[in-house]
Amino acid sequence: QVVHAHKPHFMALHCQEFGGKNYEASMSHVDKFVKELLSSDAMKDYNRARVYLDENYKSQEHFTALGSFYFLHESLKNIYQFDFKAKKYKKVTGKEIYSDTLESTPMLEKEKFPQDYFPECKWSRKGFIRTRWCITDCAFDLVNIHLFHDASNLIAWETSPSVYSGIRHKALGYVLDRIIDQRFEKVSYFVFGDFNFRLDAKAVVETLCAKATMQTIRAADTNEVVKLIFRESDNDRKVMLQLEKKLFDYFNQDVFRDNNGTALLEFDRELSVFKDRLYELDISFPPSYPYSEDSNQGRQYMNTRCPAWCDRILMSHSAKELILKSENDEKIVIYDHIGPNVCMGDHKPVFLSFRIAAGAGKPIANVHKCCVVQ
């Protein structure tokens, strides 16, 4: 429906955790899904496509479970993709699917984050895939990213900012340094996927439970804190919030939905570290995670984590200049979420729709290099 409404000429779709949580059992369904998508009636006007699927889960040292899809509308002429090995652009024709071992594909860069970034998770699948494109002399990178999650609500609550936000900061900095290093010409870039950005848990809890008293529950054998209960001081000591490692049960979910959760945006602080390197349009949609996976509960959040804007579309400051500014009242640039009332898994996808201004890339990209094609 979103594709039908916006009719994009170039569409990039970034997926994380391809094959699902039980990828060993479910990965076998992926190929059929992809082929049906490529041949579907909804996509019939997209006569060129590139699909990159990291399905090789038996290679734990490389497996990221990332999937990057790129669809080109039949009306779009002269689009080129960069070959990182040959260091030149190649004209995109036909439909091609690459899966299993993406390491040997010269049309992308893929990397899994070093294991010591997140040592408590033995086989983390977090990493990134980068592709580079050229449309009408405008070159840009598209980076599919998946950053580290919060392993425990209790640990996230202990410090502000939490230890997990520090881990994400390190990994995102690694990606940004990588895509602007000296190996290739610098171009504008868009980084989008599951950043796992969370609200500042300590500040959120202290705000939501400002007038509550806290009860601490400890394990009998280890004395470790296993649960925090926040009760109203009066009103029959009503429970406002229960917090465990994987439980965030707040009594009033409307606070996360009303006015798209705008009241909580002040606690969304992880991107502030990168304000000199990354730009984001204003958020006007509710937290994208964690939604219920019950197919009848499309709007409901799960009581596992504090709702947060995990899924984002970020860009370099030069990429911001590529986006055509509206010269009239027509809303050309749209940053929103997909399927507000439809169950789409625990993450609600977000999308950015815009037009690239004619000739916008010329001051940034080296036009002559951009047009070297094979």
pLDDT, tens digit, 9 for 90 and up, residues 265-313: 999 999 999 999 999 999 999 999 999 999 999 999 999 999 999 999 9
Question: Average of pLDDT values for 319-347?
Answer: 84
Asked whether 151 and 164 are in contact (CB, 8 A), the reply is: yes
Looking at the domain assignment, is residue 99 inside a domain?
A: yes
Question: Average of pLDDT values for 142-171?
Answer: 96
Domain count along the chain: 1
Q: Tell me if residue 156 falls in helix, strand or coil.
A: helix
Kindly report the CATH number assigned to the domain that includes residue 62. 3.60.10.10
Looking at the domain assignment, is residue 166 inside a domain?
A: yes
Which secondary-structure segment (H or E) carries 158?
helix 153-158
How many whole angstroms from its chain centre is CA 242?
28
Looking at the domain assignment, is residue 251 inside a domain?
A: no
CA-wise closest residue to 12 among 3, 1, 20: 3
Domain coverage including residue 285? 1-197+260-353
Per-residue pLDDT tens over the stretch 223-272: 999 999 999 988 789 999 999 999 999 999 999 999 999 999 999 999 99
Looking at the domain assignment, is residue 242 inside a domain?
A: no
Looking at the domain assignment, is residue 281 inside a domain?
A: yes
Per-residue pLDDT tens over the stretch 58-111: 888 899 999 999 999 999 998 999 999 999 999 999 999 999 779 899 999 999
Please state, in angstroms and rounded to a whole number, the distance separating the CA atoms of residues 349 and 194. 9
Question: Average of pLDDT values for 15-20?
Answer: 92
Average pLDDT of the chain to the nearest whole number:
91
Please state, in angstroms and rounded to a whole number, the distance separating the CA atoms of residues 12 and 116. 31
Q: Tell me if residue 52 falls in helix, strand or coil.
A: strand
Residues 47, 357, 351, 55: is their CA dihedral positive or negative? positive
By CB atoms closer than 10 A (0-12, 13-18, 19+), residue 73 is middle
Q: Which residues of 231-266 are buried (b: 16+ CB within 10 A; e: fewer)?
A: beeeeeeeebbbbbeebbebeeeebbbeebbeebee
The pLDDT, as a whole number, for residue 67 is: 96
For residue 361, give both structure tokens. 């890339």
By CB atoms closer than 10 A (0-12, 13-18, 19+), residue 220 is exposed
Looking at the domain assignment, is residue 223 inside a domain?
A: no
By CB atoms closer than 10 A (0-12, 13-18, 19+), residue 363 is exposed
CA-wise closest residue to 303 among 253, 259, 260: 253
CB-CB neighbours of 156 under 10 Å: 27
The pLDDT, as a whole number, for residue 330 is: 61
Q: Tell me if residue 165 falls in helix, strand or coil.
A: helix
Looking at the domain assignment, is residue 318 inside a domain?
A: yes
The pLDDT, as a whole number, for residue 366 is: 47
Please state, in angstroms and rounded to a whole number, the distance separating the CA atoms of residues 10 and 72. 5
Looking at the domain assignment, is residue 117 inside a domain?
A: yes
The pLDDT, as a whole number, for residue 370 is: 44
Query: Is the whole-model pTM more than 0.85?
Result: yes
